[in-house]
Amino acid sequence: MEVRSLQTDSFYGYDRTAGKFSDGDEIGELVLQVKPAMQALIERYDLADRSMISIGAGRAHEEFHFLEAGCKVDLLDLLDPVIDPLADSIRQRIDAGQSPTETSLNYIISDLYLFLEDAVTFSQAKYDVSYISSFAPDELDREAIQLSYRRRRTKAEAYASYQSWPEGMPPFQQAIMDVGQLVKDGGLFLLQSYRGGVNIQENPHYGQLVRDQLARNDLYLLEIHYFTQSPSILLIAAVKGKDQHQTWMERLASKPGLPEFHGRYPDPDMRRDISRWEPEAEKDATPAEETEVETAPPRKTRSPKNAQV
Ligand SMILES: C[S@@+](CC[C@H](N)C(=O)[O-])C[C@H]1O[C@@H](n2cnc3c(N)ncnc32)[C@H](O)[C@@H]1O
* CA 159 to centroid of ligand 1, rounded, Å: 36
- Per-residue DSSP letters for the chain? -EEEEB-HHHHHTEETTTTEEPTT-HHHHHHHHHHHHHHHHHHHTT-TT-EEEEET-TT-TTHHHHHHTT-EEEEEE---TTT-TTHHHHHHHHHHHB-SS--SEEEEES-HHHHHHHHHHH-SSPEEEEEEE--HHHHHHHHHHHHHHHHHS-HHHHHH----S-TT--SS-HHHHHHGGGEEEEEEEEEEE-SS---TTT-HHHHHHHHHHHHHTTEEEEEEEEETTEEEEEEEEEEESSTTHHHHHHHHHTSPPP----TTSS-HHHHT-EEEE--SS----PPPPP-----PPPPS-----EEE-
- Per-residue DSSP letters for 58-69? TT-TTHHHHHHT
Give the C-alpha separation, 85 to 73, whole Å.
23
Query: Please, which residues bridge with residue 274 across strands?
Result: 227
* CA 77 to centroid of ligand 1, rounded, Å: 6
**Tens-digit pLDDT profile for residues 153-208:** 888 888 888 899 999 999 999 999 999 999 999 999 999 999 989 999 999 999 99
Does the global pTM surpass 0.85? yes
Average pLDDT, the chain: 89
Share of the chain above pLDDT 90, in %: 78
Instruction: Using CB atoms within 10 Å of the CB of residue 178, give its burial: 0 to 12 exposed, 13 to 18 middle, 19+ buried.
Output: middle
Backbone angles phi, psi at 263, to 5 degrees: -65, -15
Query: What letter represents residue 89's amino acid?
Result: S
Q: Answer yes or no: are the C-beta atoms of 48 and 42 closer than 8 Å.
A: yes
Residues 198, 270, 22, 107, Cα dihedral to 10°: -30
Does ligand 1 lie within 6 Å of residue 58's CB atom?
A: yes
Residue 120's pLDDT is 63
User: What residue ranges do the domains of the chain occupy?
Assistant: 2-284+301-308
Domain over 2-284+301-308 is classified CATH 3.40.50.150? yes
Give the C-alpha separation, 275 to 227, whole Å.
6
* CA 78 to centroid of ligand 1, rounded, Å: 7
Residue to probe by mutation, ligand 1, list 78, 86, 130, 262, most atoms within 8 Å of CB: 78
Task: Using alpha carbons, list the distances in angstroms from residue 103 to 73, 116, 141, 174.
Answer: 9, 22, 35, 30
The closest residue, in CA terms, to atom 6 on ligand 1 is 57
Is 12 a residue whose pLDDT tops 80? yes
Does ligand 1 lie within 6 Å of residue 131's CB atom?
A: no
Residue to probe by mutation, ligand 1, list 113, 135, 174, 264, most atoms within 8 Å of CB: 135
* CA 58 to centroid of ligand 1, rounded, Å: 6
Give the C-alpha separation, 19 to 298, whole Å.
53
* CA 45 to centroid of ligand 1, rounded, Å: 23
Residue to probe by mutation, ligand 1, list 77, 90, 173, most atoms within 8 Å of CB: 77
Share of the chain above pLDDT 70, in %: 88
Does ligand 1 lie within 6 Å of residue 78's CB atom?
A: yes
**Tens-digit pLDDT profile for residues 63-98:** 999 999 999 999 999 999 999 999 999 999 999 999
Residue 279's pLDDT is 77
Which among 182, 256, 169, 164 is positioned nearest to 219, based on CA atoms?
182
54 CA closest ligand 1 atom index: 6
* CA 196 to centroid of ligand 1, rounded, Å: 14
Does ligand 1 lie within 6 Å of residue 84's CB atom?
A: yes
State the pLDDT confidence band at 301, using cuts at 50, 70 and 90: very low
Through-space distance between the first and last CA atoms of the chain, rounded to whole angstroms: 42
Is 104 a residue whose pLDDT tops 70? yes
Cα torsion angle, 216, 219, 222, 223, sign: negative
Query: Please, which residues bridge with residue 5 across strands?
Result: 106
Does ligand 1 lie within 6 Å of residue 217's CB atom?
A: no
